[in-house]
Structure 1
Amino acid sequence: MDLPYAGIPYGPAPAWCFPLFECGLYLLFILCLVHAAGRGARNVLYILGGLAFGLLLEYMEVLMESYTYGRFWVMLGKAPMDIPLCIGVGWGIIMYTARLFTDRFGLGLLAAAALDTLLALNIDLGMDTVAYRTHMWHWNWVGTGLNPLTAQWFGIPYGNFIGWQTVVFCYSAFSRTFEKWLMRNKTGALKFTAIAVLALLSSLFVLYASEVYLFPFLNKYLGIKSVHRFYGISVILLGLVIVGWGKRKVAAENLPAITWMVPGWFHLFFTACFFILGFYKENTWMTAAACINLLIGVIIHLPGSFKSASQDSVSTAGKIHHTS
């Protein structure tokens, strides 16, 4: 059997892998959009802005030859510079549900944006090692002298995770900032549209400026490489959450089920693929990292899922009793 990429001992993914992942994202996007529609224009435009942002940044990364994509059902653009629609959808629903989760705790702007970012990163750490090995997307290590299965984070460049940190933090922080500035007097769909567009453009600018100017400068003149930036930024984000957590104000509203359904789907799908497709046999450290990351996701989201489910049951029972 011919292998798709040099140094990666895995053939094409099973026929069910790509369609199941893609359809799962589209279904979750519909559920998120329905939920957002019930909460008003701000939420709808936040998730649509996240979708647009995701597509634009993915196209930018493909143009910069950061990575290439496998073949999904719905591709936008012309090969080999095309991108899957479902990836933009994934960005939108991850950022939307992360914000739903953090809004529940009434955190300050920086702490909320930092927690949004860590929640998204928890998903990506479990996703990328599997997606890379199923050839959903591919980083090219040819000519680097590095092993494509062990380079940096088990074959995933640290720069990818820094991109996640930059994207989610900026979109979350800019959205919240522009909401405070523009929503002081009256609300309206036009203002929410302006907020989404401004947050998208500002975040893209920061991402582009960081990747093209800031990070190369840090590497060349200060010796701060991607691994240092990734762990340094992670520590800063965690510090922001810890400081902000003591000042949190828990909101009265319940956590909607969609806040755990989205991360739950990502964790379930990629953890299942990790073991079903035999990737766990490759590297003990990678398996340990995957299990620890999954455990962290469960610890974060499982209590909220039980609580929201039980509260929904009580609410439903109350409505039935009142009706009868």
Structure 2
Amino acid sequence: MQFIFFDTAICIVLLLFLRDAYKRGHNYFYLLIAGVFYGLFLEWATIEQLSTYHYSERFIISFQGVPISIGMAWGLIIYSVMLFSDSSSLPGIFRPFLDGLVALNIDFGIDVIAIRMDMWHWGIGLEDEFFGVRYGNFWAWFWVVVSFSATYRMLLVYDRARKWSWLPAIGAIMGGLYGVVLTNHYIQSVFESRYELTILVTGLLALAIVAMNRPRFYLHDKLPLIHIVLIGSHFFFFLLGLLTGALFNPPLLLLVWSVSTLLAVAMHHQVLRSFITRLRRVKDT
């Protein structure tokens, strides 16, 4: 039942986002579509390259072992984190790092629950590494988003005249996949003996880069919708974990989910506060 629930929810949200992206212009629409295809390709490439995990066969539609809804979810996540960082004062060159960190926090809250619902399997015990999730997964999530975002933004600057609005999207798929394969190779071969430390140092450096710039965030009409993904995903998996009992296996998972969700709220508190204020003003008029 949770597979039908998940696939249906992803399809509904994607339709909402597609409508929104289409209204905003070609660049946004192509970005979202590219994110979906990128998600499918990167999952297939990673499974083929590393063979460290596999998906359940109970998803409604899959291609080459990758559920279509997972590709959709990647598109939604990448689109949301990039629009979120674009609403900040952070210099453009550093925004891919913020994109990677925000996406990584989403994964902290959902992966540990998803594997306990048999949505995918890491091939290790539920008590191993990070509650059954391989540490390398967090390395992959970070670079999956950073590689795509950095390539897209670079090509968007190159195509200032917007003559080829499809170019940044297509280029981001290729550049992102190259980044995924390359970083997977490095973590598997070059840093294999100390990959936990490499992952930790990479995350801390990215966090330091963002923190030193002290970005501020500004509310505009893109943000309420993307928060369906940025914050809503945490509560969506909380509901699934609650209904299936996965959230309490072990009970410490509730703490993991809570920390991840509180971090999400903290990251978006300026925007959320402004949005609530705007709603109150509308209500009073």
8 Å Cα contact 2:117/2:246 also seen in 1? no
Q: State the match for 2:194 in structure 1.
A: 224
Name the SS for the 2:118 alignment partner.
Answer: coil
Aligned AA (2:223): P
Name the SS for the 2:72 alignment partner.
Answer: helix
State the distance in 1 between where 2:181 and 2:126 align.
28
Instruction: Compute the displacement of 1:313 (Å).
Output: 7.2
Q: State the match for 2:55 in structure 1.
A: 69
Structure 2 residue corresponding to 1:236, chosen from 205, 208, 219:
205
8 Å Cα contact 1:171/1:200 also seen in 2? yes
Q: Does 1:311 align with 2:278?
A: yes
Instruction: Compute the displacement of 1:278 (Å).
Output: 2.5
Structure 1 residue corresponding to 2:155, chosen from 172, 175, 178:
178
8 Å Cα contact 2:85/2:95 also seen in 1? yes
State the distance in 2 between where 1:295 and 1:253 align.
23
User: Is there any run of 5+ residues in structure 2 with no aligned partner, and where?
Assistant: none
Structure with greater proportional helix content: 2
Instruction: Compute the displacement of 1:152 (Å).
Output: 1.0
Please say which structure displays the higher CA radius of gyration: 1
Aligned AA (1:68): H
TM-score by length of 1: 0.80
Identical-residue share of aligned pairs (%): 25
Q: State the match for 1:6 in structure 2.
A: none
User: Is there any run of 5+ residues in structure 1 with no aligned partner, and where?
Assistant: 1-14, 142-147, 319-324
Q: Does 1:187 align with 2:134?
A: no
Instruction: Compute the displacement of 1:198 (Å).
Output: 1.3
Could you say if the C-alpha distance between residues 234 and 205 of structure 1 is closer, same or farther in structure 2, counting changes exceeding 3 Å? same
8 Å Cα contact 1:51/1:92 also seen in 2? yes
8 Å Cα contact 2:111/2:133 also seen in 1? yes
State the distance in 2 between where 1:173 and 1:23 align.
31
Q: Does 1:93 align with 2:76?
A: yes
Q: Does 1:31 align with 2:31?
A: no
8 Å Cα contact 1:114/1:169 also seen in 2? yes
Instruction: Compute the displacement of 1:61 (Å).
Output: 2.1
Can you list the C-alpha shifts for 1:221-245, whole angstroms capped at 9, x where unaligned?
Answer: xx322x2122111101111111222
Cα RMSD of the aligned pairs, angstroms, is 2.3
State the distance in 2 between where 1:238 and 1:203 align.
21
Q: Does 1:21 align with 2:6?
A: yes
TM-score by length of 2: 0.90
Instruction: Give matches, 1:284-299, under 5 Å.
Output: 284-299=251-266
8 Å Cα contact 2:238/2:247 also seen in 1? no
8 Å Cα contact 1:110/1:240 also seen in 2? no
State the distance in 1 between where 2:98 and 2:199 align.
16
Aligned residues: 283
Could you say if the C-alpha distance between residues 306 and 57 of structure 1 is closer, same or farther in structure 2, counting changes exceeding 3 Å? same
Could you say if the C-alpha distance between residues 203 and 285 of structure 1 is closer, same or farther in structure 2, counting changes exceeding 3 Å? same
Can you list the C-alpha shifts for 1:294-315, whole angstroms capped at 9, x where unaligned?
Answer: 1112233355245335536757
8 Å Cα contact 2:231/2:261 also seen in 1? no
State the distance in 1 between where 2:180 and 2:133 align.
19
8 Å Cα contact 2:32/2:76 also seen in 1? yes
Q: State the match for 1:155 in structure 2.
A: 132
Could you say if the C-alpha distance between residues 108 and 302 of structure 1 is closer, same or farther in structure 2, counting changes exceeding 3 Å? closer
Name the SS for the 1:153 alignment partner.
Answer: coil
Name the SS for the 1:73 alignment partner.
Answer: coil
Instruction: Compute the displacement of 1:44 (Å).
Output: 0.8
Name the SS for the 2:88 alignment partner.
Answer: coil
Can you list the C-alpha shifts for 1:136-168, whole angstroms capped at 9, x where unaligned?
Answer: 111113xxxxxx012111000011111100011
Of 124-133 and 289-298, deviating more is 289-298
Could you say if the C-alpha distance between residues 228 and 299 of structure 1 is closer, same or farther in structure 2, counting changes exceeding 3 Å? same
Could you say if the C-alpha distance between residues 192 and 115 of structure 1 is closer, same or farther in structure 2, counting changes exceeding 3 Å? same
